[in-house]
Amino acid sequence: NFEDSDFSEETEDENKLINEYTRVVSNTDDSIMVKQFTSNSTNREAILLDYEQGKTHVLTSMKCLDEGVDIPRSELAIFCASTGNPRQFIQRRGRVLRLHKDKIHATIHDLVVVPEVSNNESTFEMEKNLVKKELERVVDFANLAINKTETYNSLKDVLDLYGLNLNDI
């Protein structure tokens, strides 16, 4: 029962972000039904049932889809916040990659944060380490994806800038 589940509560900043994401998706097309699935959501089981049945087209969530939530019909996910925790990462990915009779494939967009190029030698190594950490997830995802080559090609400029090779990550 989700109503009794102890999801970690979102911070004020996280609530602002999830509200903004929900607003942007809602404004994309009037026919798209968007619902939030957060620690503050009431009747979470009904929200997931509506999503499973296609009555709700998009769920915006933060933290609540990491563990113990089964939504195999999901075909698209956009991860807007990375996690350095491998368990959370696998849980999130698994939500979308589960098999479902009405699903042929799944699409996952994992937003990667790359620092603004500053040409500052004093911060270059720090920037390089941040980028390398972000790309660990990309390599993990891309190795399983049908668009592996396109993914790697899209990162070429960043890899060249920091002297990174995906085979070494």
In this structure, are residues 66 and 90 in contact, taking their beta carbons and an 8 Å threshold?
no
How many CB atoms neighbour CB 111 within 10 A? 10
pLDDT tens for 18-75 read: 899 899 999 999 999 999 988 888 888 899 889 888 899 998 887 666 666 777 778 8
Query: For 73-98, what is each residue's pLDDT tens digit?
Result: 788 888 876 666 777 777 778 888 88
With a CB cutoff of 8 Å and minimum separation 6, the contacts of 162 are 124, 127, 128, 131, 132
Region 4-21: what's the mean pLDDT?
A: 78
Determine how many CB atoms are found less than 10 A away from the CB of residue 127: 17
Strand segments, DSSP code E, in the chain are 34-37, 58-61, 76-79, 107-110
